[in-house]
Amino acid sequence: MKSSEQWFQSLLSSAGVAINGPQPYDIHINNPAMFDLVRRQGTLGLGDAYIHGWWDCPSLDKLFRRLLSADLARHAGIFFPQLYGTLKAHLTNLQTATRAFEVGRRHYDLDDDLFQAMLGPTMAYSCSYRGSGATTLNDAQLAKYDLVCRKLHLVPDSTLLEIGCGWGGFARYAAEHYNVRVIGLTISQHQATFARTYCAGLPVEILLQDYRSFSTPVDAIASIGMFEHVGPKNYAAYFDTARRCLRPDGLFLLHCIGNLSSTLCTDPWINTHIFPNGKIPSMRQIATAIEGRFLLEDLHNFGPDYDFTLMSWWKNFHDYLRTSGPAEKIDSNFQRMWQYYLLTCAAAFRARSLQLWQIVLSPNGIPGGYHPVR
Whether residue 331 has pLDDT greater than 90:
no
* CATH 3.40.50.150 residue window(s) in the chain: 99-362
- Helix ranges (H only) for the chain are 4-13, 33-41, 43-51, 60-69, 72-76, 80-91, 102-103, 112-119, 137-151, 169-178, 189-198, 235-245, 268-273, 283-290, 304-324, 332-350
Establish whether 345 is a catalytic residue: yes
pTM of the full predicted structure?
0.94
Torsion of CA 43, 85, 253, 203, to 10 degrees: -100
Whether residue 74 has pLDDT greater than 80:
no
Contact 260, 355 (CB under 8 A): yes
Whether residue 94 has pLDDT greater than 80:
no
pLDDT at 77: 61
Domain 99-362 in CATH 2.40.50.100? The answer is no
* Marked catalytic residue, from 57, 165, 256, 345: 345
Whether residue 138 has pLDDT greater than 60:
yes
Contact 255, 145 (CB under 8 A): no
pLDDT digit string, tens, across residues 236-275: 999 999 999 999 999 999 999 999 999 877 899 999 999 9
Q: What are phi and psi of 220, to 5 degrees?
A: -155, 155
Cα 63 from Cα 73, distance rounded (Å)? 14
Whether residue 82 has pLDDT greater than 70:
no
